[in-house]
Every structure is written in C-alpha cells, then in structure tokens.
Structure 1
Amino acid sequence: MEFALNPDRERMDLTLLMGLLVNGRTVLDDFAWASGSERFAQALAEFGLRYELHGHQLVLDGRGFQYALPSMLPYDFPEQENVLLWTLASKDSEQVYTLAAEPDRDGIEKIVAVKAMLLKYFKVNVETDAPAKFVFRFAPEEPALKKDSLGNVPFIMRNRVLLRTLVRGEYVSFEERSLVHDQWTKMLMYFGVPLRYEGRGMEQLSEFERRLMMAQGKKIERTQMTELAETRVITGRDYYVPGDTTEATAFALLTTIGKVPKGNVVKLLNVDLNSTRAGALTCFKRMGANIETVTRREKFGDVYGDVEIYPMEAGKRLQGRRFGEDAIATSLSDYAFLAVAACFAEGETILRIPKEIRSEMRVSNDFLAENLRKTGVEVGVYDDGLVIRGMETIVNGSDFDGGDSPEAGLALSVLSIALENDEPVKNVDAVEAMFPGVVEKLKQVLVAEAPANEGKE
C-alpha cells in the first residue's frame, strides 16, 4: 500500500520565506499546500512575496533584501512563524508597531502572551505598555545568543539569528554540540548563501591547542560550527518540499502496533528524512520496528526518500528503551508517538525531556498519561519526562482525548485505530486541521489485502 503525505509544514514555511528573499523566481515542483501554509504565504505577501499556482507548480517571485515592511505586524501565528515574520520586520529599527486587542480578559491575555513571546527573542524600545496595547520599535542590538543544556542554540532562535544576519548583511558564527531542526541552515546553503556548516573536533585543533586542552583536563568534543558571511544577493532555484515527518511517524507506529493483514507493507513516498527532525523514526528502529528507507535522495540540499514499514513478526514485540535528552530533542514533535509505542513494548521505556522545556511539558505529559492509562498500562509522570511499562496485550482503551495538541491527538488516533475502536478521539478536528485526511488514510492500513492498485493515494 502506497501513501503520499501532506507536505512538511515547517519546511514549507521556510521555503516560502526563502522565496521572498530571492532576487527572482523560485519554482516548487509537485506542489501542494501544507496545512496553514497558504495563510503564512498571505502574511509574506504583505512583505512583497508574489506567488501563483500553475498546475502542480507554485511559482514564487521574491523581492530580495529590499522587501517591503508591513504597516501592521502579524502575530496570530504559531511561535516559529511569528518569529520569522517579526525578524523580517526587525530590519528597520525606526518603524513603530502596535500589538492590540479588545480590552477584555481574552484580549489582555492574548497580548500578554504575544508580548512575552516577542521579548523572548527580541530587544525592543517600548513606547506604550498597556494591558491590551503594546507599542514598540525593534531595537538595533541583538539579545545574547544563549545555548540550552545540550549545548545547542534552540532552533527557533537559530533560524532567527541566521535570518536577521542575512537581511542586515552582517556576519555571525557560533558552535553547538549537536543540531536540532537544521532545515533552514541547509536551505540557505542550497540557495548559495555563503554559509559554512561543518563539524569540528580533534582534527581541527593545532598540536599546541590539543596539548593545552589535555593539560587542562578538558574533554575534546566534536561540535558543529555555523558561520554566515555577508550576503549581497540570493538567486532563485527549483525546490521541493517533501512529506511530513510526523505523518510518517503515525504510519510507522500503526503498522508496527496494529493488526495489519499479512503481506501488507506500507510504503510512504518522499518523506522528509532530515536526521535532526526525524528522530522518532530512529527511536522506533531502536525499539525493534521494521522500518526501511528504500529510496534515498540527497537533493535540494537535504535528504528525503521512500520508506517502507513492515508489521512486527509473529511472536515479537517492541523493546523498551531509555531515550535521553539528545534523542528526544530531535523527536519533540512526535513525543506522543513514542509514548504510545512504549505502551506495547516489553519492559520499561524512559523518555527524558530536555531541561528547558520540562516545566511547560508537565501539564501535557499529565494529560497524555491520563489517556494512556485507560489502556491499563503503567505510566509514571516525572519532572524530567515519562516512564512507561508496556503490556504484551492491550485489549481495552477508549474515550481518548487529544486536547489542543494535534500531534498528541494524532498519536492517540493511531492507538484508537490499533485497538479497533469505533468512536473517534475527542478533538479530532484539530488533527484534521493540521493533517488533512490522515486519519482516513491510516484506517486503510488495517484493511484486508486488496488488489495491487487499490489503496494508493
């Protein structure tokens, strides 16, 4: 059974952004909109992006670094999209922007949340700071570039720093211990931006530097260095946005834990396989899932390909594993899928969350655990993550609720389909909005074997 996935939204956003910064035309082949991406394109149109759909191609006409500044600052988007739009606007430190809402409770709470997000990433000069109205100018200076406990620059901040450096014609360099979500970095390189992106370790040190570090008792670790030089112009190129990794994770999970008819191999076409984003698929493999990349394409500056998932062999189970913060950092979007997989695994699975987000994820982990316990599985919620002891056979479990998280809702939908429940997961509308049509596609995975062409998307 073959399935085409919705395009990866994060990569789609970055591609549309690049289309604005290019001097000239960018053509996207085999194009389809990711959920919400057309609205993001409309916001970029306020900066001067022109786009037009021609059959299966989207043609982008960019303005280069001479893009326009909007009179109203957009802010009603997810965090990473807001930050990209605000970074474009921050090029001009004289433009005055206003964030305003109705002066009722909802309006005040909204402006407070947006203001907190803004101040997390930018320095601003405040002119008016009222409960439902915030008037400011972007400051020309940059906030300090802080790394997380893993030695990385959080990817939303990294994307922002590279974008701001790019549009202001400046220079920046920094090192990280590992990378998470480096799609923007690789896209910049593909479009010809003078950016160095390379690993550094023992081989980059002089003999004196090595001896000095050894004498000081310092451990020589391999790091990733990013260096962006002044960029004068970016020229257009063809590009392709591959399939969504989270959707691929959903298919991999269902094929592994569900009652898939014998001989039904699930093939996913053109999946985004960027290793700093697709960590959950690697975690599934470590647990014993049978996932194989059958076609690997290194094009457009990154990696994508066709993936085949095979059902578990009779008598075999997934194996519980301990996943540290490094592994989870590349799997955060798909954290709930790892938790569902752990419910079926032999032994104990530990999912450790990076320190910086433990507090904000505690509520969502409590909610996820409450749902998973409906299957009878033991789930422990701790400050640093989840501990799950799987069961050999799960026959009960229903009335799942995805809450306000489309990713968690999709993971619980996979669990519900695997348990052959008739009723949908509560708040499945949020899943459908983010991943159009995916639940109906997933249901096809468990149908009886069909003729060769049936079930293709």
Structure 2
Amino acid sequence: MEFTLNPDRERMALTLVMGLLVNGRTVLEDFAWASGSEEFARALAEFGLVYEQHGHQLVLDGKGFQYPLPSMLPSGFAEDENLLLWTLSSKDPEHVFTIAEEPDEAGIAKVAALKESLLKYFKLNIEEDSPAKIVFRFAVEEPALKKDSLGNVPFAMRNRLLLRALVRGEYLSFEERSTVHDQWTKMLMYFGVPVRYEGRGMEQLSEFERRLMIAQGKKIERTQFTELSETRVITGREYYVPGDTTEATAFALLATIGNMPKENVVRLLNVDLNSTRAGALTCLKRMGANIENVTRREKFGDVYGDVEIYPLAAGKRLQGRRFSEDTIATAMDEFPLLAVAACYAEGETILRVPKEYRKEMRTKNEFLAENLRKTGVEVGVYDDGLVIRGMETIVNGSDFDGGDSAQAGLALSVLSLALQNDEPVANIEGVERTFPGIVEKLKQVLVAEKAESEG
C-alpha cells in the first residue's frame, strides 16, 4: 500500500517566503498546497509575490529584497508564520503600521494578544497605544538573544534572526548546543545564501587549548555554529516540499499497533527525513517499530525519502523508553502520537517536555491523559511531561475527544481506528483542516488489512 502525504506545512511557509526573496523565478516540483499555505501565499502577495500553478508545478516570481511593504500588518496565522511575515515587514524602520479593532472585549483582547506576540520577538517604537489600537514602527535595535533551557535558539526565533539579517543585508552569527528544525538554514544554503553551518568541538581548539581544558577538568561539548554574511541577491532554483512528518508518524503508529497481517507493508512516499524535524520516527524505531527508510534522497539541500512500515513480528510488543527533552524537542507536533504508542508498550515510557513548553503542555497533557485513561492505561501527568505504563492488550476505549488540538485529534483517531471503533473522534473537523484527507487514508490501511486477512 502506497500513500502520498500532504506537504510539510512548516517547510511550505518557508519556501513561499524564499520565493518572494528570490530575484526571478522559483519552480516547485510535484506541487500540492499544504493546509493553510494558499492563504499564506495570498498574504505574501501583499509583499509582491506572484504565484501561479501549472499542473504539478507552482511557479513563484519574487521581488528580491526590494519587495514592497503591505499597508496592513498581516496576522491571523500560527505564531511562527506570523513571525515570518512580521520580520519581512520590519525591513523598513520608518514604515508605520496600525493594528486596530472594535473597542469591545473581543477587539481589545485581540490587540493585546498581537502586541504581546510582537514584543516577544521585536523592539517597537510605539507612537499610539490604546486598548483597541496600536500605531508603531519596528525598531532597528534587536532584543537580546535568549537561548532555551537546552542551549539552543528556539527555531522560530532562529528563522526570524536569519530572515531579518538577510533582508537588511547584515552580518549574523550565533552558537547553539544543538539545533531543532533547521530547514530554513539548509534552504538558505541551497539557494546560494552565504551561510556557514557547522559543528564545532575539540577539532576547533589548538593543542594547548585542549590540554588546558582537560587539565582544568572542563568538558568539551560539541556545538552548532551558524554564520550569515551580507547577501546582495538570491537567484531562483527548482525546489520540492516533502511530505509531512506528523502524518508519516500517524501511519507508522497505526501500522504498528493496528495488528496488520505479517505480509502487509505500508509505503510512504517522499517523507521529510530532516533529523532535526523527524525525531518522532526515530522514537518509534527505538521503541521497536519496524520502520525502514528504503530510499534516501539528499536533494534540494536537505533529506527526504520513502519509508516502509512493517507489522511487528508475532509475539513482539513495543518497548517503553525514556525520551529526554532534547529528543522530544524534535517531535513536539508528534507528542500525542508518541503517547498513544506508549499505551501499547511494555513497561514504562517517559516523555519529557522541554522547559519552555511545560506551562502550555500541562493543560494539553491533562486533556490527552483523560482520553488515554479510557483504555485502562495508567497515565501520570507531571510538570515535565507524561509517564505511561502500557498494556499488552487494549480492547476498550471510546468517546475520544481531540478538543482544539489537531495533533491530539489525529493521535486519538489512530487509537480509535486501532481499536476498530465505529464512531469518529469528537472535534475531528480540526484534524481534517490541518491534515486534509488523512483519516480516510488511514482507514484505507485498515480496509486493505481486513480484505487481505479475510481473503
């Protein structure tokens, strides 16, 4: 059984921004819109991006760094997408933006939320500030760079820093302990932007420095160094946006826990295999899932390929594992899917959330745990994540509710399908908006499984 996934939404947004900054034409091959990406393209059209679909190609005509600024500050997207649009808008510190809403409770709340989000990433020169209206310019000065608890620059901030330096023709450098979601960095390199992106450690030290650090008992840790030099022009190239890793993880999970006959194989075509993004697939492999990368293409500056998932051998189970914050940082969108996998694993699985996500994840994890406990599985919710003790056989569990999280809804849909429930998960509409057609595709796996087993 072969499946083509929806394109990765994060990479699609970055690609459309790159298309704007290119002097000339960028062609996206084997193209399909990701969820919400056509609306994002319309927002970029306000900056001058011209796009047109021709069969299986999307042709982007960019404006380079001389793109015009929109009359209204764009918003209404996910925070990382808003941040890209706002960074483009911050090119000219003399340009005045106005955010205004109706002076009622809803309007005041919306303006306050947008202001809070802007001040999280930018310094602003505010000229008028009232509950329902802000008039401001983006300041030239940058906020102090803050690394997260893992010693990394959060990927949304890293993308913003690189984009801002790019459009302003500035030099930028920083060092991190490791990197999460580096698709934008690799995309810049592929399009010819002068970026140095390299690991640093013992080999960068002189012999004297190495001996001195060893004598002082200091640990020499490997770090990731990023440097961007002034860029005058970016030329167009062909590009391709691979399949969504979250959807791939859903297929891998269902094929593993859904009792597929041993002769069945699920093949996923052109999956995003960037190691800083696809951590969930690695987690499932560590738990014992039979997942194999059958093709690996190092093309367009990154890595993607076909993935095959085989059923577990007779008598085999997933195994509980402890996943650190570093690992989960590369799999935050797939966190609920890993929690469902843990329900089927032998022993205890610990999913530790990076410190920066813990406050927002605590409520989400309480809601997720409430659903998972309907199967009889023991689920403990803590400030730093989840502890789950799996069961050998799960036969009960229904009335699942994805709430307002498409990722949780997708994970619970996989669980419901594995349990062969007839009724859909509540609030499934959110799953369909974010991952169009995914539930019907997952059902095809089970239909094919049943047909083959009955034959």
TM, length-normalised to structure 1: 0.97
Partners of 2:27 and 2:57 within 8 A in 1: yes
Task: Give the secondary-structure state (helix, strand or coil) at the position aligned to 2:58.
Answer: strand
Matching of residues 43-122 of structure 1 within 5 Å:
43-122=43-122
Paired position in structure 2 for 1:434: 434
Partners of 1:260 and 1:447 within 8 A in 2: no
Identify the range of structure 1 (439-448 vs 292-301) with the bigger mean alpha-carbon deviation.
439-448
Shift of 1:451: 9.6
Paired position in structure 1 for 2:203: 203
Which AA in structure 2 matches 1:402?
A: G
Shift of 1:133: 1.4
Note the alpha carbon deviations across 1:58-109, whole angstroms, 9 max, x for none.
Answer: 0000000000100100111100000000000001111111112222222222
Note the alpha carbon deviations across 1:173-227, whole angstroms, 9 max, x for none.
Answer: 1111111000000000000000000010101111222233234332100111000
Matching of residues 6-405 of structure 1 within 5 Å:
6-405=6-405
Note the alpha carbon deviations across 1:340-396, whole angstroms, 9 max, x for none.
Answer: 000000000000011111111111011111110111100000010000000001111
TM, length-normalised to structure 2: 0.98
Task: Give the secondary-structure state (helix, strand or coil) at the position aligned to 2:296.
Answer: strand
Partners of 1:263 and 1:449 within 8 A in 2: no
Q: In the aligned structure 2, how far is the partner of 1:446 from the partner of 1:367? A: 27
Which AA in structure 2 matches 1:291?
A: I
Partners of 1:261 and 1:447 within 8 A in 2: no
Q: In the aligned structure 2, how far is the partner of 1:299 from the partner of 1:325? A: 30
Q: In the aligned structure 2, how far is the partner of 1:274 from the partner of 1:34? A: 18
| % same residue | 81
Task: Give the secondary-structure state (helix, strand or coil) at the position aligned to 1:381.
Answer: strand
Q: In the aligned structure 2, how far is the partner of 1:75 from the partner of 1:215? A: 54
The aligned length equals: 452
Partners of 1:166 and 1:231 within 8 A in 2: yes
Shift of 1:136: 1.1
Which AA in structure 1 matches 2:46?
A: E
Q: RMSD of the TM alignment (CA)?
A: 1.2
Partners of 2:375 and 2:396 within 8 A in 1: yes
Shift of 1:262: 3.8
Task: Give the secondary-structure state (helix, strand or coil) at the position aligned to 1:446.
Answer: helix
Task: Give the secondary-structure state (helix, strand or coil) at the position aligned to 2:294.
Answer: strand
Q: In the aligned structure 2, how far is the partner of 1:403 from the partner of 1:352? A: 22
Partners of 2:260 and 2:449 within 8 A in 1: no
Matching of residues 404-415 of structure 1 within 5 Å:
404-415=404-415
Q: In the aligned structure 2, how far is the partner of 1:71 from the partner of 1:384? A: 43
**Consecutive unaligned residues in structure 1, runs of 5 or more:** 453-457
Task: Give the secondary-structure state (helix, strand or coil) at the position aligned to 2:180.
Answer: coil
Q: In the aligned structure 1, how far is the partner of 2:330 from the partner of 2:448? A: 35
Note the alpha carbon deviations across 1:36-56, whole angstroms, 9 max, x for none.
Answer: 000000000000100000111
Q: In the aligned structure 2, how far is the partner of 1:448 from the partner of 1:219? A: 54
Q: In the aligned structure 2, how far is the partner of 1:449 from the partner of 1:422? A: 16
Partners of 2:353 and 2:385 within 8 A in 1: yes
Partners of 2:262 and 2:313 within 8 A in 1: no
Paired position in structure 2 for 1:455: none
Q: In the aligned structure 2, how far is the partner of 1:292 from the partner of 1:112? A: 47
Q: In the aligned structure 2, how far is the partner of 1:347 from the partner of 1:449? A: 28
Q: In the aligned structure 2, how far is the partner of 1:119 from the partner of 1:113? A: 10
Task: Give the secondary-structure state (helix, strand or coil) at the position aligned to 2:76.
Answer: coil
Q: In the aligned structure 2, how far is the partner of 1:291 from the partner of 1:298? A: 19
Q: In the aligned structure 2, how far is the partner of 1:234 from the partner of 1:48? A: 16
Partners of 2:347 and 2:389 within 8 A in 1: yes
Identify the range of structure 1 (201-210 vs 84-93) with the bigger mean alpha-carbon deviation.
201-210
**Consecutive unaligned residues in structure 2, runs of 5 or more:** none
Partners of 2:262 and 2:312 within 8 A in 1: no
